[in-house]
Chains A and B, each alone.
Chain A
Amino acid sequence: MELKVLFKYTDDPDQYKMDTYISHGGYKAWEKVLKEIKPDEVIEIVKQSGVRGRGGAGFPAGVKWGFVPKDSPKPKYLVCNGDESEPGTCKDRVLMENDPHRVVEGMAISSYAIGAHHAFIYIRGEFVFPAERMRGAIEEAYEKGFLGKDILGTGYDLEMTVHTGGGAYICGEETALLNSLEGKPGMSRIRPPFPAIEGLYASPTVVNNVETLANVPEIINRGADWYAGMGTEKSKGTRIFCLSGHVKKPGNYELELGTPLRHLIYDLGGGILDDKELKAVIPGGSSTPVLTPDQIDVPMDFESVAEIGSMLGSCGVIVMHEDTCMVWAATRLAYFYMHESCGKCTPCRMGTQWMYQILSRIESGEGRPEDMDHLLSACDNIEGQTLCPLGDAAAMPVRSFAKTFREEFEYHIEHKKCMVQNSFPSFGQ
């Protein structure tokens, strides 16, 4: 069943306006925090709620905030990651477009909690409209006195800035995002130091996903217990699932964590397009290992999906039916990661290129029997050995496609044609 917390008002066409947002209880949490709750207590509430990072890694938000050193002489920064780039994911965009004040309020509360006086929201370059909505909301918030100097007479100052990127997948990775925000090429930095110690301008920085921060106002308004009451034992609250691919009703669905995948695809999504057979599902954005039809009863929470060898990731659910050539799909994904590798570390830069080279040969009928071993060994040499998670993100889907649907790859190599009837035209031709 859908459970609308973040999406409660997103269908209201005026929700992006300050007055409408306030009429729906907006900025109450911000006022309450400023006047009644100490920063440490805010962190404690968020910790208690159990809300975990919605960007993909699922790290508990409150714990992350707690890493920011209290005694640093440097300024602290909050950065909201709006560089939503994971293929199959489109949730942050809706929040920024239709309920931007919720994001602003969440950022404000989080900034207060970590002691930041400047918050940035980094939005991917292609998101022109969401960036416009965010700018508008921030402007309104300044006018209303929710941002700026001496907010609501409490003496707390907070500046908020929208920064749009140039359109790179890697800039969704927090250290690359920080580089880009500083005006440098979007390339990941080695950790340690972690951003909480040396992030933006070498100062303590918290980077959180849009959806994570959008949860914060409601957690303050309704309490940590209310939030922790939703979801499973370790995966609290709701998440927005972005359903796409071969389903009848694709779209964003906000569900309690732990809802079975089958319910999302068949009940909410209306089943498979043209009533064909389900062949494969990517559960958490394109970088997560693919699931087969026998696995779709899995409850969608961090732990259960991990248990069956995949990841909940960014909740970008991509459904593929029986006519999909898995070699083609893997090749397309490999192309994406090759194109998006920043080029800083060797295994990712070269590994993504080699994987794509091998895959496109197999796909176009020029594969050799040894290619499958080479492909899997390339995955071995990438995974766990790159500077940032992009390498893993590139290798995981390739490995899972090659293992799960190995016979399709071998058919391509042996027969120099596709196993699937009515398949899509060859990629790249």
Chain B
Amino acid sequence: MSEIKLTINGREIVATKGMTILDVALENGIDIPTFCWHPKLKTVGACRICLVEIEKWPKLQVSCATDATDGMVVFTNSDRVVKARQGVIEFILLNHPLDCPTCDKGGECPLQNVVYKYGIDRARTIEPRQRFIVNEDSTFDDLPIGPEIIRNQNRCIHCFRCTRMVEEVFEEDDLGSYNRGHITEILPPPGREIRNLYSGNVVEYCPVGALTNRDFRYKVRVWLTEQKKTICNFCPDGCNLTAWTFRDKIYRTTSRRNDRVDDGFICDIGRYGYQFVHHPDRLTSPMIRRGGELVECTWDEVYDAIICKLKSIKEKLGPEGVASLVGEDCSNEDYYVIGKFLRSVVGSNSIDHRLHRKKKLSYGEDLEKLGIVGTNLTIDDLESPDLFVIVGSDLHSENPISALRLLKAKRNNDARLVLINPVPSRLSRSGTEYIHKCNTEVQLITCLARIIVREKLYNADETGLDDRQIEKFLNDTDDFTIENVSDASGISKDDLTLLARQIAEAKRAVFITGRHVSLHYRRDMVLTALFNLALITNNLRGDPKGILALRIGSNNRGCYLFGMRPDRLPINRRVDEKDSLSSDWLTGVSDRKGADTIDILRQIEESKVELTFAVGTDPVTSYPDYNYICSTLTKLDFLVVADLYLTETAKIADVVLPLSSCMETSGSFCNWEGRVQIFEQVVNPISLSRPAWQIFTDLAARLEVEFGYKSGEDVFNEFAPMISGDTKLNFRTVPESGICVPSATPVNRSAGLQPVSVRAPELDQKHEYVLITGNGDHHIGRNRTTRSESLNRFQSEPYVGLSERTANELALSDGDLVKVENDFGKIVCVVKYIDGLRDDVVWIPDNFPEISANVLKNREIEIDMVSLVKV
């Protein structure tokens, strides 16, 4: 990068070669107005408002597209420039209606601001302004063009940010421009709507009031609002948001651009999801079960009841008679205080957040030894690979904003996307997707590794793999021949070979796994197979490493970081390593492992656990065995549920505590990178609700242990030095980039190739379809997104997804009712065709309250099989 010197408005400025004049000006605080230019979009130079004069250049130039060069003399405010700029403004105002008083963009409108600053005070035009008439009786001409987006074409200044963004950044095709010249219109394709997962961004990027959304329009004037910094917690991406409030109510959330994390875009779930906060379903008061009914009561009453039970059960069964299940969407502060309460005040280590797994897994210990739990990758690092291999993930719905980084790598780096999934995913539009038969991931991945080895496409020196090891690997995996695996997985031999070669040829590949692997009965084996493949293709070298195992649950990394596991303490230290942490409260903590979810449930059955806290979690609808979880939880002597709503679990609880959401307290979240980011309190707690950290602080106080936390900030300040190693760090001094807590285990390349094996699962022969669940359009998880009116406009009804062929075989059409059943339960719901779905798969979006797919699951069974009956 070479340095250049140029002069702007008489000021000598040093800049870097390759910057545009606009870049240099903005970096040096020189104001140049822009409309079409946006740092996150390709430059088009269309609006011409950023014209500048350059000495010795005959014509004015657009500063957004002209490179600054050494010795250049630029004027951004000369008479010629001002005249030209006024000319452009005059042209824009030729048709732009001056309806600012009734325009929702008023007060935050770039056009209004530019006219305010550079405009002339009289109009020379007498022509009536052009209208795109939608309603003859009104001058508003508002046209809904999607579930949320409303277009007013009259106001459009044709910067094309919206259509460029949809095409370039999202690789979607649901918004475009029609016609040409002054009658150019922004519209979705005929017969369609703009409804992509990122559609709300077009409103935020629109520099005028041409695109608004139902969520915010005409609700409040923007200058009356207060803005608070918050963090999205619907998925583990951790996008930065601004919450806009007026009189203690949130009116919208928008992107608070953080280039390290969200790159200035947020998904619709993050944008409209906040509506769950003010939903009338929110619990307003603590409740206690009296005479079989849950009745409202005071906090004192529930606290007394809990403390009373706690004492008696502890006396009867010892501290291990108390356990806690926690959800993955709580804040770090909640986790820290729950852990502190349970471990140091109650004395029990039985705490777990992993409620979605059927099988007792190895706690990830084997994987931890290989170094593929957690990650050293950052979201930024996703911009540099030239190949992404996505295994078992609909990344688009699970981590929408990380998915955009992959598209960015594709755009800037010609990166390729390969997806290996049991069900079709949205990212297939931007890459090549191979749909395999359910549960054949291990075979598939190992087969790819074998092809690479057999075709000698690996580098023995760089990977450090000797012939002996390779020989052993080939012998150990001789079941996974290309023929066998092709038969088992349903992917052709040619495709397997092509895929293997593509992976081998990549300079740097990143393997990303998601939901299907995270919930896989044989998760450890899938990831081990992937470790082998990444090792053979030399993608584990250096730092960051090449495997990214993403999990569901927005703050699952926070759960790890704050020890929401029976064997872990804060910063993921094992319970027997407690001395390595310098915190007073840890001294009395037992160094014996507690019980994990599976053991807690077993101990409940055996009456060894009689009191359980369920905080921010709804096991009745999320544990993969409905019958078992219901029968187990009802056996409990005392179930304490703290949640936002009266969930199915809350309905069977003995006491229900109204929880405050993250908008009602301050605190922090940890995203999948391990980046801890803080959020401010946005509104006061709804009704009588309290945040979890406060509830457990209160309970501790009643057991005569004073934690002394008055706010989430206090909790953060206590653990901040622990996670950052910086004793001076506190809530007020956290940098914008957050605190990055690195993965505890470095990748262990020297472990060499690992043995892999698969046992063919015993399939339930009575039922012919495999049940797979996922996220519905614009929804993630249960309970919260379905309480957002805006998100429900995209999809509010549950359905059963079938391939068209399967549906036809059963004489079912789109919209018919079907019964999905097996020995454990049944669901009746409407059918929807899903393109590309395998004929032996039933796909159910598991977000909607009407149905929950766990009624069809059994914790003992590896693959959930179901039958279909037309109703």
Contact = CB atoms under 8 A, between A and B. Distances in A.
A342 B84 contact: no
B618 to A, nearest CB: 48
B180 A342 contact: yes
Contacts of A168: 180
A354 to B, nearest CB: 5
Contacts of A187: 180
A392 B59 CA distance: 12
A90 B795 CA distance: 56
Given A338-B182, A385-B84, A347 B48 contact: yes
Contacts of A341: 180-182
A339 B183 CA distance: 9
Given A344-B46, A344-B158, A387-B46, A357 B181 contact: no
B37 to A, nearest CB: 11
Contacts of A186: 180
A343 B184 contact: yes
Given A344-B44, A349-B158, A185 B177 contact: yes
A346 B180 contact: no
A339 B91 contact: no
Nearest to A189: B44
A352 B130 CA distance: 14
Interface string B46-60: 111101000000111
B45 interface: yes
A345 B94 contact: no
B51 to A, nearest CB: 6
A352 B181 contact: yes
A78 to B, nearest CB: 24
Given A190-B45, A380-B87, A385-B84, A343 B181 contact: yes
A342 to B, nearest CB: 5
Contacts of A353: 94-95, 130, 181-182
Contacts of B126: 368
B834 to A, nearest CB: 28
B643 to A, nearest CB: 50
Q: Is the interface of B mostly helix, strand, loop or mixed?
A: loop
A263 to B, nearest CB: 34
Contacts of B59: 384-385
Nearest to B59: A384
B488 interface: no
B132 to A, nearest CB: 13
A346 B84 contact: no
B169 interface: no
Contacts of B143: none
A170 B181 CA distance: 11
Given A347-B91, A350-B182, A353-B94, A385 B47 contact: no
B65 interface: yes
B160 interface: yes
B44 A346 contact: no
A361 to B, nearest CB: 8
A426 interface: no
A345 B181 contact: no
Interface string A383-415: 011110000000000000000000000000000
B728 interface: no
A351 interface: yes
B58 to A, nearest CB: 8
Interface in A342-372: 342-347, 349-354, 357, 368, 370
Contacts of A377: 87
B817 interface: no
Contact of B88 (A344, A347, A352, A354): A347
B91 A350 contact: yes
B64 to A, nearest CB: 9
A381 B184 contact: no
Interface in B81-96: 84, 87-88, 90-92, 94-95
Interface residues of B, number: 37
Contacts of B183: 343
B49 A381 contact: no
A357 B129 CA distance: 11
B124 A349 contact: no
A187 B160 CA distance: 12
Given A190-B65, A349-B182, A352-B181, A385 B60 contact: yes
Contacts of A345: 45-48
Interface in B71-128: 84, 87-88, 90-92, 94-95, 124-127
B60 A343 contact: no
A386 B51 CA distance: 10
A349 B184 contact: yes
Nearest to B84: A385
Contacts of B58: 384
A168 to B, nearest CB: 7
Interface string B705-730: 00000000000000000000000000
A374 interface: yes
Interface in B161-196: 176-177, 179-184
A357 B184 CA distance: 17
A340 interface: yes
Interface string A324-350: 000000000000001111111111011
B184 A385 contact: no
Given A339-B181, A351-B91, A346 B49 contact: yes
What 3 A-B pairs have minimum CB-CB distances, sorted nearest first?
A381-B87, A350-B91, A190-B45
19 contacts: A185-B180, A338-B181, A338-B182, A339-B181, A341-B181, A343-B158, A343-B184, A344-B160, A346-B47, A346-B91, A349-B91, A349-B181, A350-B91, A353-B181, A370-B124, A374-B124, A384-B60, A385-B59, A387-B48
Interface of A: 168, 170, 185-187, 189-190, 192, 338-347, 349-354, 357, 368, 370, 374, 377, 380-381, 384-387
Given A340-B180, A341-B182, A349-B184, 13 more contacts: A186-B180, A189-B44, A190-B45, A342-B181, A345-B45, A346-B92, A347-B88, A351-B91, A353-B181, A357-B125, A357-B127, A385-B48, A385-B60
